[in-house]
């Protein structure tokens, strides 16, 4: 299943879909247990912050029945690893951090299974958890297969008067079998300057004839973080620069290799892999991430990736609504190109999503989603009021079931919008999930 996005829990996906020893390179950047809520902030056509945002994920792991079950699974299959977890419990207690480490342990064991003998794994983490994660990786991969602790150094705002300012992340690099792994130091020589060797660049040696040759690549990389106005920015809070992933993929894989990112967020590793002619697999547990990746891949490469786990039929979409109305709402909003999810399901003031559409993204659109069977004209009337209040150009009401005649009549009362080229579009439109699966799109510029 190359060049595929998977929606869902990566543990279940890896076990079901990924065969033994099929992956050439794994990069993972899991949440860091920082106990923070991250919101994605979307930009307007003028590159200003939009009031439209959504909680991307809650970066907190809780000790619960799922954690207990995963620890029980470790005792059944990996007793050595389970004993390590019990040892860590004596030191740090049965708390959220231990829940995070158990979650990582059982997933890292599966990632080891699917990695080729020539493959490598880069685990991206911050110094608050890297020492615990290294113990887990040593237990799974073996201490001899630890290659590097790479420090990604960067500049960012804020300094401390009580400790040295924390301006680096850690990349733990392990291989499946030492000395068999792919490592192309010559592929990253473009980052170096002969005689330089700074910022994680390649170090060169100049012989008597004036010829430069590569000596080594350093284990600290000075790569700038993305600024808030950088062209790469998608709005995703933990987005990493393409330069960082470009270096990792060039160094530890070859063209045609298969790259896996099981926590792929906004898909930087996926985009870098596609640019470098690698095959890839991405996984994430939020519809927001899958929607962002679909759009990002299509915008840059004009490729519509295969997505497994998203509703593939009317029945599966309806089932998603029954299981999790908020996830259905987010999925439904991202089915319309350029439409961005809103902040929350409750207290959203009738706005479930926003978008800026048209050739120059100049038309503001408000989206409302109704998943239930009880549909009334008042829903259209309420959307019209929000569109007027927000001074938007269009409003789209997405429904699972077909609208009533009264709803259609109410939508028609809103009139039309005429573009400068003389094209006409209904100001308020009703778009059903059946329309989506039948390939129909809203009538928008």
CATH at 218: 3.40.50.150
pTM listed for this prediction = 0.76
Are both 398 and 303 inside the same structural domain? no
Are both 58 and 120 inside the same structural domain? yes
Contacts of 124 (CB under 8 A, 6+ apart): 27, 28, 29, 30, 152, 169, 170, 171, 240
Are both 302 and 352 inside the same structural domain? no
Are both 226 and 329 inside the same structural domain? no
- Residue that finishes a domain, picked among 285, 308, 331: 308
Output the domain CATH number for residue 326. 3.40.1350
Shortest CA distance to 264 belongs to which of 10, 34, 59? Answer: 10
Tell me the C-alpha distance between 335 and 420, whole Å.
Answer: 27
Could you give the angle at the alpha carbon of 208 between the alpha carbons of 205 and 212, nearest 5°? 30
**Could you tell me the pLDDT band of residue 287, with boundaries at 50, 70 and 90?**
confident
Are both 287 and 333 inside the same structural domain? no
Tell me the C-alpha distance between 155 and 158, whole Å.
Answer: 9
Asked whether residue 265 is domain-assigned, the answer is yes
Q: What is the pLDDT of residues 381-438, one digit of tens each?
A: 999 999 999 999 999 999 999 999 999 999 999 999 998 888 899 999 999 999 999 9
Number of other residues whose CB lies within 10 A of the CB of residue 13? 21
Q: What is the pLDDT of residues 152-171, one digit of tens each?
A: 998 876 777 888 888 889 99
Are both 293 and 359 inside the same structural domain? no
Q: What is the pLDDT of residues 34-87, one digit of tens each?
A: 444 444 444 455 545 444 444 544 545 678 888 888 888 888 888 889 899 999
Q: Which domain holds residue 105?
A: 4-308
418, burial (CB in 10 Å: exposed 0-12, middle 13-18, buried 19+): exposed
- Residue that finishes a domain, picked among 250, 275, 308: 308
Are both 244 and 377 inside the same structural domain? no
pLDDT at residue 190, as a whole number: 42
CB crowding 295-323: b at 16 or more within 10 Å, else e: bbbeeeeeeebebbbbbeebeebbebbee
CA distances from residue 15 to 5, 10, 137 in whole angstroms, order as listed: 15, 8, 19
pLDDT at residue 95, as a whole number: 84
Token pair of 130 as six digits: 């890297």
Asked whether residue 442 is domain-assigned, the answer is no
Asked whether residue 274 is domain-assigned, the answer is yes
Asked whether residue 445 is domain-assigned, the answer is no
90, burial (CB in 10 Å: exposed 0-12, middle 13-18, buried 19+): exposed
How many structural domains comprise the chain? 2
Could you give the angle at the alpha carbon of 324 between the alpha carbons of 96 and 345, nearest 5°? 90
Are both 191 and 213 inside the same structural domain? yes
Look at residue 181 and tell me whether its pLDDT is greater than 90.
yes
Q: Region 301-309: what's the mean pLDDT? A: 90
Could you give the angle at the alpha carbon of 88 between the alpha carbons of 87 and 92, nearest 5°? 135
Shortest CA distance to 5 belongs to which of 269, 315, 322? Answer: 269
- Residue that finishes a domain, picked among 280, 308, 336: 308
Are both 258 and 194 inside the same structural domain? yes
Could you give the angle at the alpha carbon of 141 between the alpha carbons of 136 and 146, nearest 5°? 90
């Amino acid at each position: 299943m190359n060049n595929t996005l998977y929606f869902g829990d990566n543990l279940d996906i890896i076990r079901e879909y990924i065969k033994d020893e099929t992956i050439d390179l794994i990069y993972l950047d899991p949440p860091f247990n920082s106990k923070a809520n991250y919101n994605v902030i979307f930009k307007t056509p003028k590159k200003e912050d939009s009031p439209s945002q959504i909680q991307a994920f809650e970066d907190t792991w809780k000790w619960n029945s799922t954690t207990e079950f995963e620890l029980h699974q470790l005792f059944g299959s990996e007793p050595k690893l389970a004993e390590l977890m019990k040892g860590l419990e004596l030191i740090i207690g049965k708390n959220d951090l231990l829940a995070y480490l158990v979650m990582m342990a059982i997933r890292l064991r599966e990632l080891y299974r699917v990695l080729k003998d020539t493959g490598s794994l880069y685990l991206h983490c911050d110094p608050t958890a890297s020492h615990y994660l290294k113990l887990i990786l040593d237990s799974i991969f073996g201490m001899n297969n630890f290659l590097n602790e790479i420090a990604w150094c960067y500049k960012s705002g804020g300094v401390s008067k009580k400790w040295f300012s924390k301006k680096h992340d850690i990349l733990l690099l392990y291989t499946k079998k030492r000395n068999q792994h792919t490592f192309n130091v010559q592929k990253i020589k473009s980052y170096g300057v002969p005689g330089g060797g700074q910022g994680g660049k390649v170090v060169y040696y100049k012989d008597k004839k004036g010829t430069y040759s590569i000596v080594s690549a350093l284990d600290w990389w000075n790569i700038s973080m993305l600024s808030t106005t950088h062209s790469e920015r998608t709005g995703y809070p933990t987005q990493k620069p393409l330069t960082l992933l470009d270096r990792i993929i060039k160094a530890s894989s070859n063209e045609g290799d298969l790259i896996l990112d099981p926590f792929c967020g906004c898909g930087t590793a996926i985009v870098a892999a596609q640019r470098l002619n690698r095959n890839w697999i991405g996984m994430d547990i939020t519809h927001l991430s899958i929607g962002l990746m679909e759009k990002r891949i299509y915008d840059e490469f004009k490729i519509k990736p295969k997505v497994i786990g998203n509703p593939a039929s009317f029945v599966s979409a309806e089932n998603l609504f029954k299981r999790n109305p908020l996830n259905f709402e987010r999925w439904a909003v991202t089915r319309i190109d350029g439409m961005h999810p809103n902040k929350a399901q409750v207290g959203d003031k009738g706005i479930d999503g926003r978008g800026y559409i048209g050739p120059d993204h100049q038309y503001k659109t408000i989206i409302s989603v109704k998943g239930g069977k009880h549909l009334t004209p008042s829903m259209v009337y309420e959307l019209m009021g929000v569109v007027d209040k927000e001074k938007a150009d269009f409003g789209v009401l997405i429904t699972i079931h077909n609208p009533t005649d009264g709803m259609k009549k109410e939508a028609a009362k809103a009139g039309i919008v005429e573009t400068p080229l003389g094209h006409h579009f209904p100001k308020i439109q009703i778009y059903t999930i059946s329309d989506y699966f039948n390939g129909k799109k809203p009538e928008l510029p």
